[in-house]
Amino acid sequence: MCGIVGGIGQFPIRDYLINGLKTLDYRGYDSAGVALAEPEGIRVFRMPGRVQALDEATPRDLHVVLGIGHTRWATHGAPTANNAHPHTSMNGEFVLVHNGVIDNFRHLKNKLEAEGYVFHSETDTEVVANLLEFHYNRLKNVKAAMLAMIEELQGSYALAILKKGDLKHIYFAKNRSPLVVGHGEGKNLLASDFLPMLKEGKDFAPILDHQYGYITEDTIKIFNEDGSVANPKFTRPDLKIEDIGLQGYPHYMLKEIEEAPAVVRRLIDNYFDGNQFLFDPKLINKLKAADDIIFIACGTSYHACLIGRRYMEYLGKRSEVYIASEWAYHPFVSAKNPMFVIVSQSGETADLIRCMEIINSRGAVSLTITNTKGSTLERDATYSLLLFAGVEIAVASTKAYVAQVALLSLLTGAMDDSTAVVSHLYDVIKAENAVIANSESLKPTAKYLSGKKDVFFLGRGTDYDVALEASLKLKEITYIHSEGLPGGELKHGPIALIEKDTPVIGFISDPLTDLPIRSNFKEVEARGATVITVVSKSLAKAGDSITVPDVKEYLSPLVKVLVAQYLAYFAALELKVNIDKPRNLAKSVTVE
């Protein structure tokens, strides 16, 4: 949700922090701030709104030797200047930024108030700052104070900390909220992920849960919970600065929609050598041996898992799909030998991390499918598979969904000992390119949708799964109310919502359900609805609205979802909303 950036060394730290925060703004935020340390003291600048406003308000002529920055997505208190980070302890001893949620902050706040501490914000973060100062005043040692603070904190946190009068250290601590450190030439860095550090850093390493330490101009020191020195593995991601640019596109979402064919091709290249699949044989054997394949995910990834469940059922395997925030509190499993498949674009989703902790506490086998190498969920799983989709900046996920479904299809092919899926995916690439080439033809339909207050998506089978994702995309970036429904459920309640000229978008990919879903379209048309059909070419009939090239029915979501993504994008364009950064949403949901 939030973003942290920090740096120390002989380089333009003020600009590095501001630009780093801009790089992180895809994660979502509603306020921002920086703390800049000069020989004269620590200066703090913070305000609600975008980083651009913070940039304009932060002087450029400061003699900065180290600093930290933060973008906040409000959890405790409204997005005001008072609640924005960084926060300063009551007597000014520490200035810090924080990602995560402190579960026992009320208890700690009451304790500190009894000690005479006064609070000026509604945040749990100010509690952390004052708690650290309280222990420092008692122990007179920063490391000892941090350990005492960590022992009392319950919940999730990534902390970057400045100490008054200390121009040589940025301190940090981490638990269940991402934090990465990086080496540079004559400098060292830290951030929520490696993207803000990519230009200034040489290589990077994730901080693990319950670790803490500090960076100086020439040192990175990391300690484990027991006080022993950690030796992390530093790596350089296979990514260039230009890979995260718009490259001439007006929005990241459009760029990422049109990267879908390349994403599918990259997955084939990474998991198939032309003759055989390249998955770990132990993973395939574990999947084959499992008596229940349990998918756990959130949002768009959950919708991809619905299709994955159908793939497992095709193989004759029992399979279930759970929303992570639900399963985390009701983790019932009846199977004796389950295999858990955790799907997350970021690999840092808080609800999924909670689920992974439960899975690991039971000694169960797990597979993480993620786009982020080195993420918490990848590290904590028994097995992991990368999506190789490249950085996805737009908050509304597009190419990551395509990558998840395509990877699940390849995994199914490997379990079925059939390479036919590879040629089927090459057909998908051709079909996706055809949709992209004809995307302009979707603009009139999108313009029509942009003027409506309700939109319904219908489908059966995998088309219903696509309807759910299509509905999510539309509501995410246009703020138009929408629902995805199974066609057969209309008569059981939802048809009461149909009024004159209500748009109903229907997907048709399966010959088996072609006639039944068309009957559903007639039912809503009889109530005044305007039906827009998205149909595979071989099933198209006179009067159908949008026709897409044929692919194998089980892979049809990879083509039809592009139509849904374009409709949402073009409708949002008509409405002149912030397409890449929709209101109230964040890319990486790192708090529960």
Three-class DSSP labels, 148-187: HHHHHCCECEEEEEEECCCCCCEEEEEECCCCEEEEECCE
Q: If you ran DSSP here, which 8-state letter would residue 220 be given?
A: E
355 is catalytic: no
- The shares of helix, strand and coil residues in the chain, as percent rounded to the nearest 5, are 40, 25, 35
Distances in Å between the Cα of 467 and the Cα atoms of 2, 201, 506, 591 are 30, 42, 8, 28
Strand (E) or helix (H) holding 5: strand 3-9
Cβ burial of 286 (10 Å; 0-12, 13-18, 19+) is middle
Ramachandran quadrant class, 498 (left: phi over 0; alpha: psi -120 to 50; beta: rest)? beta
Report whether 303 contacts 472 (CB < 8 A): yes
Report whether 232 contacts 375 (CB < 8 A): no
Report whether 191 contacts 158 (CB < 8 A): no
Strand (E) or helix (H) holding 127: helix 125-139
Sheet containing 454-459: order of strands: 481-486, 454-459, 503-508, 530-536, 546-548
Dist CA 165 CA 136 (whole Å): 14
Catalytic member of 2, 298, 305, 355? 2
β-partners of residue 339 are 293, 365
Cβ-Cβ contacts under 8 Å for 422 (sequence gap 6 or more): 268, 272, 410, 413
Dist CA 525 CA 317 (whole Å): 39
Q: CA-based Rg of the chain, rounded to a whole angstrom? A: 25
Report whether 478 contacts 572 (CB < 8 A): yes
Dist CA 366 CA 363 (whole Å): 9
2 is catalytic: yes
Catalytic member of 163, 174, 187, 587? 587
Cβ burial of 540 (10 Å; 0-12, 13-18, 19+) is middle
Catalytic residues: 2, 587
